[in-house]
Amino acid sequence: MPPTSIRDVAKLAGVSVGTVSNVLNRPEGVSQDALTRVSHAIEQLGYVRNDAARQLRAGVSSSVGFVVLDGQNPFFNEVVRGAEDEASKHGIAILHGNTDEDAGREGMYLDLFEEQRVRGVLISPYGDIVRRLERLKARGIAAVLVDRFSGNGRFSSVSVDNVAGGRMAVEHLIETGRRRIAFVGGPFNLRQVSDRLAGARVAAESSGERVDIEVLPVEALTVDEGVVAGRRILDRPKRDRPDAIFAANDLIALGLLQALVVSRQVLIPDEIALLGFDDIPFAAAAAVPLSSMRQPSRVIGQTALRILLEETNDPELIPRQTVYLPELVVRQSTVKDAG
Amino acid sequence: MPPTSIRDVAKLAGVSVGTVSNVLNRPEGVSQDALTRVSHAIEQLGYVRNDAARQLRAGVSSSVGFVVLDGQNPFFNEVVRGAEDEASKHGIAILHGNTDEDAGREGMYLDLFEEQRVRGVLISPYGDIVRRLERLKARGIAAVLVDRFSGNGRFSSVSVDNVAGGRMAVEHLIETGRRRIAFVGGPFNLRQVSDRLAGARVAAESSGERVDIEVLPVEALTVDEGVVAGRRILDRPKRDRPDAIFAANDLIALGLLQALVVSRQVLIPDEIALLGFDDIPFAAAAAVPLSSMRQPSRVIGQTALRILLEETNDPELIPRQTVYLPELVVRQSTVKDAG
DNA sequence: AATCGGCCCTGAAACGATTCAGGCGCCTGT
DNA sequence: ACAGGCGCCTGAATCGTTTCAGGGCCGATT
C-alpha cells in the first residue's frame, strides 16, 4: 500500500496540488465546488498530511519539546499535563524527555529536539544551560523555563516564588510554636532548593524570635533520600532532634514521614511537625496527611506553553517572567486537629 | 542567522553533499581525510541535521508515540520512563499523549502521530481501537499494546497477567482469613479491571471455602474515586462491611485508605484488609503501608519499545504477546506485623 | 601494456508539502 | 466594446536530506 500524497488527492479531485494545499491551509479562498471535491477525495483515499514535508518546506514544526527534571515527581506530571492540554488545542504534540537531575541526559534531549527542529522547548533546567538555550534561540527555537526563574532575563519563565514559599512555610511553623527547624533538601545547585532555604532563613530572621534553621542535605529530591534523612534524624538522641522539618519537596517529606512513622518513636506533629512543598495528590493520602506549599502546577504548564507559542509567533517579544505565589495547605502533619 | 545545511558543510569541507551524508550515516566507507575535514566543518558551523528532511527522503522517523491511559498514575510514568530509557539509546524521541480514559483524546493523539509519521506507537488503549491500529499498520506504522493483552493477536503486546494477579491477590486475602471481600474498581470496559476481577472470582471459587466477592463499581481509577467508594462503605452499618477490599489499582486503594483512616471508625488491617495493584512508589509511604500486586513497570516500557523497534525493522515479524507475572508485596494493610 | 577491481567521490533525482507569479474567465462601469 | 479588477486556479520552484548510477584513480594481475 503506497502512502497517498497530495498529488494523488489532486488527481482524484481533478484539481492541482496547489488547490489541495489551499483547501488544507486556507479554505476560505477556495470555491465551494473545489472544496467539496477535494474533501471527498481526501476522505476516499484516507489521506493524511505528511508533517515532515510540511515542516521542511514551511519551516514550521508542530511539536514542542519538554525537558522534565524528574518524571517520577507527580508535580511535574501535572505541569506536563497542563502543557499537553494547551498544546492539543493547537494540534501540537509534545516530545518528552526526563533528565532525572542528570546534565548529560539534559544535553542529549536538547540535541534530539534540535534535530527535530521543534517549535520550541519547555525546560525545567538542571545544569547551567543558558548558553545552550542561547544557541537554540539563534537557530529560531524558543525556550521557556519552567519552575525556575530566569537568571539573566534572556528567557521567559513560569515559576513559583520559591523564596516567598520558603518564607511562608517557616512562618507557619514558627506560628505554631516551633523553634528548632530542620531544612531537608538538596542538591543545592537546584535553584528551587536554595531559594526555598533562603526564604526559610528570611522567615527565621525576621520573626523576632530565636529560631534555628539547621540544614540537612540530601542527594536528590526523592522519597528514598527522605527515608535516609529520616533515619539519620532518628539516630540522634531525642533532645537533639528538631521540633519541625521543612522538606524541600513532598517526595522528601513523604520519605521522612515514612521513616519517622514506621519507627514509632516520634509523634507527628506533636514532637516533630512536617511541612512539604508542591502539594502533590499523594500528600493528602499520607500516613499523616501532609501540610504543604501548593503550586498551581497545571496552570504553570499551560501558561508556559502559551507563552512559548506566542514567542514563536513573534520572536521580537521581550522575555517575561511569570511568577505565581504558592499557597499554604495546612493538614495534620503540622496542626494536630487540622481539617 | 541562516540555518546551516549539509551544503554549507560540503562547501566548507571541500567535498560533495553526498560525502557529507556518508560521513553522517556510513562513516566506515569514507577516507580518513574526508572524514576529518567534514567533521571539522560540522563542528565549526555548528551544523545539526534537519530531521524533517531526513525523514522525508529516507522515510524513517526518529520518534515514537506513546499514548498513555492515565498520566497521573505513577505506574504509567514508570512505564514511560522505561520506554524513554530504551528509546534514548537509539536516538529516538518520545511523543507523549495523555488520554485520561477519554476515547476522543485517544483518537486525537493517534491522528497527530499519524501526521508525524512516527516510527511506531506504544499505546495503553482505552476504547476499541483495533481498527484504528490496523489502519496505521497498513500505513507502515507499527503498534505495541502496553499493559493490555492483545485481543485478536494482530498486535504485539506487553502486559501483566491480570487474571493471575487478581487470583493471587484474593488468595492472599483468603489465606489471611478474609471471607467477605469487596472488589472496588471500574470502569469495566477497561480490560485490566475486568481481568483482575475475573481472577478474584477464580480464587474465591477454587478456595474450597465460602467466599463472597462483592463488586463496588467506581467511575475511574483515581484517588478521588477511591475516597468516594470509601465513604460509601463507611455509610453501612459495621456488620455489613466487607472484611477485605481488593482495589483495582493503588490509586483507588490510597483513596479508600484515606477515607477509612480519616474516619477513625475502621482499623486496618484488623477490621478491613486492603490490597492494591501496581505497587506504585507511594504505596509504601501510605498511612498504613499498602500491600499491593507489583508490576515490573519499567521493564514493561523497555520491552514494549524494544519490540516496537524490532517490528519496524522487520514488518514481517509475527506479533507476540509478552506477559509478566505480578508479584505480591505484603505490607501492613493486609498483615498487621508485616515488614 | 592492457584490463580489472576496489575504493572513494560526485552530483542529480527524489521525497511531499507550500508558495507564488502568472493566467484565465467573468463581471462591472463607462 | 473595452479596460480593469476580482476570484480562483495552475504548476514549477523550493526546502534539506538520502540514494545511487557513474566515474576517476591506483595498484594488482595477466
Contact B52/A49, CB-based, under 8 Å?
no
Q: Which chain B residue shows the shortest CA-CA distance from A61? A: B52
**Which residues on chain B are in Cβ contact (under 8 Å) with A112?**
62, 88, 91, 93
Res B1: pLDDT: 56
Q: What is the pTM of this model?
A: 0.94
pLDDT at res. B272: 97
Mean pLDDT of all residues in A334-338: 92
Nearest CA in chain B to A261: B287
The CA distance from A284 to the nearest CA of chain B, in Å, is 8
Is the C-beta atom of B31 closer than 7 angstroms to strand C?
yes
Cβ neighbours of A66 in B, within 8 Å:
96
Nearest C-alpha neighbor of B286 from the set B334, B231, B243 = B334
In this prediction, residues B321-326 reach a mean pLDDT of 97
Question: Looking at chain A from residue 162 to 221, which residues have their Cβ under 8 Å from any Cβ of chain B?
Answer: none
Closest CB from B53, B72, B286 relative to A287: B286
Task: Give per-residue pLDDT as tens, A192-230.
Answer: 999 999 999 999 999 999 999 999 999 999 999 999 999
The answer to whether the Cα torsion of A254, A257, A261, A263 is positive or negative is positive
d(CA A218, CA A188): 9
- Mean pLDDT on B255-283: 93
Q: Which of A241, A272, A256, A269 is nearest to A330 (CA)?
A: A269
Contact with chain B for residue A25, Cβ under 8 A: no
pLDDT attached to residue A263: 85
Domains of chain A, earliest start first: 6-49 (1.10.260), 58-160+297-324 (3.40.50.2300), 162-295 (3.40.50.2300)
Cβ of B116 and A105 within 8 Å? no
Range picked from A144-153, A293-302, B95-104 for highest mean pLDDT = A293-302
pLDDT in the model for residue B2: 67
Q: How many CB atoms lie within 10 A of CB B177?
A: 10
pLDDT band for position B286 (cuts 50, 70, 90)? confident
The 10s digit of each residue's pLDDT in A244-279 is 999 999 999 999 998 998 888 999 999 999 999 999
